[in-house]
Amino acid sequence: MTKVVKLALISNVTDKDGNKVEYNELNRCLWDLQKETRDLKNAVVRECWEWYGFTNDYYKLNEEYPNERDYLKKAKSDGTIKDYALDGFIYAKYSKKYNLHSGNYSQTLRDACGSFKNNLKEILRGDKSILSYRADQPLDIKKTCIGLEYDKDTNTYYVTLVLLNKNGVKHYNISDFRFKITVKDNSTRTILERCFDGVYGISASKLIWNRKKSQWFLNLCYSFDKVEVKELDKKKILGVNLGVYYPLYASISGEKDRLAISGDEIIEFRKRIEARRTALKKQAAVCGDGRIGHGYKTRMKPLQNVSDKIANFRDTFNHKASKKLIDFAIKNDCGIIQLENLKGVTKNSEGFLKNWSFYDLQSKIENKAKERGIKVVYIEPAYTSLRCSKCGCIHKDNHPTREQFICQECGYRVLHDYNASQNIAVKDIDKIIKAELEKTEPEKKTEEEKPEK
């Protein structure tokens, strides 16, 4: 089992002569490496795309695909010719162009090749454009290039990262990058302790620049043996509806027991935040000499702090909600959690909640479910809120208010979120709804074509 912890870093870097490296100089070096990472990834995409085009043309002529090693050859420094697999060929072609450490270079190359292969079908269908990477790429760091240190006297953790190859060390006069780790909670400290003691193993990680905070963060990946989990009923489905009044509402088809997480906490938080934003905007408009004349960013910094509070609140709320859901699923022996596919979708139109990250909530549910051996299935969301979970009637008037569901066919009355979760808890519900719509469509047309009496 592999997980990630996000660590805020404070520079403690010295050069080869033992002198402290200035923050701006450090950033210049790391930003250069980000650009190199971008260039390498885009070069990988070009090479993969060209190879794909060649293999297609080859197949048309020979009715078989070419062997990579028969066609991807490169001269070595001693003059001999070596044949390569595609990723090895790309490695040899570009390795001397960059200052990236060889282990990190290999990690970036493999990730870019993997992303191209994983997205190829969608690219060919026209669902995605060919991958193009931006300049501010995370820096891939191989696990052997990460070293944790602990200072008992100050109770402080440090991390040392090896990021440069020999040419890079010579160019920047920096061999290793040492950072102090900011530990804000006991959970993070426990993870670091276990990594340091060898209970958790460190895996390939990423160094990320946060523009808003002007700070470097390490997404440290750590792994551990998966805990034996209770065997759950693989046929029992927990349906989960994500909404406004109830950000999360879950139930099992045909059962009355349910999990309802109210949105009251979000709404109260929204009121406090909106009041705070209004007050800060007024202050910014009439602020004193302390902030006037120091630029827009300085004057708006208190508002940025509010945005950070919103992000932290969302993360905490989604973490708690997803944990409650997994506990509920285990308690009720549900081996499957069924969710609506809401990637890129917002399910409401109220200002603050419109930007609520349902995708983040679903991601947290998915990660926690995986840890407990629960399968997550995504279904198409169309008509789950308009279909009666009792008789199957789909009608636009079945959902007359935000909270109510009243079936126009059988008169079934229930809370809208519960009805939707009951539908979502049905196996292959999106296929069932599609079949029901196809069945009712001819009946509607026949009804419309009947002559008036």
Please give the mean pLDDT across all residues of the chain: 85
Beta bridge partners of 340: 379
3 state SS of 109:
helix
Confidence category of residue 136, pLDDT binned at 50, 70, 90 = confident
The mean pLDDT of 369-389, rounded to a whole number, is 92
Q: How many percent of the chain have pLDDT more than 70?
A: 86
**Cβ 306 vs Cβ 344: under 8 Å:** no
Look up residue 277 and give its two tokens. Answer: 């934003």
Residue 404: both structure tokens together: 């109510």
Which range has the worst mean pLDDT, 77-81, 167-171, 249-253, 390-394?
Answer: 77-81
Domains of the chain (ranges; CATH) run 1-225 (no CATH), 233-265+322-440 (3.30.420.140)
Range with the poorest average pLDDT among 156-170, 336-350, 386-400: 336-350
Residue count of the chain? 453
Residue 159: pLDDT band (50, 70, 90) is very high
Sign of CA dihedral 314, 319, 320, 325: positive
Measured at the alpha carbon of residue 395, what is the angle toward residues 438 and 247, in degrees to the nearest 5? Answer: 110
Q: Determine if the pTM surpasses 0.75.
A: no
Q: Is the pLDDT of residue 350 over 50?
A: no
pLDDT of residue 286: 63
Q: pLDDT tier at 352 (50, 70, 90 boundaries)?
A: very low
CA–centroid distance for 18 within its chain: 39
φ, ψ of residue 217 in degrees (nearest 5): -125, 145
Nearest C-alpha neighbor of 43 from the set 82, 84, 93, 88: 93
Predicted local distance difference test score (pLDDT) of residue 227 = 61
Q: 93-107, 221-235, 345-359: which range is least confident on average?
A: 345-359
CB 149 within 8 A of CB 157: yes
78 burial class (0-12, 13-18, 19+ CB within 10 angstroms)? Answer: exposed
Mean pLDDT of 108-112: 94
Q: Which two tokens stand for residue 380?
A: 């198409």
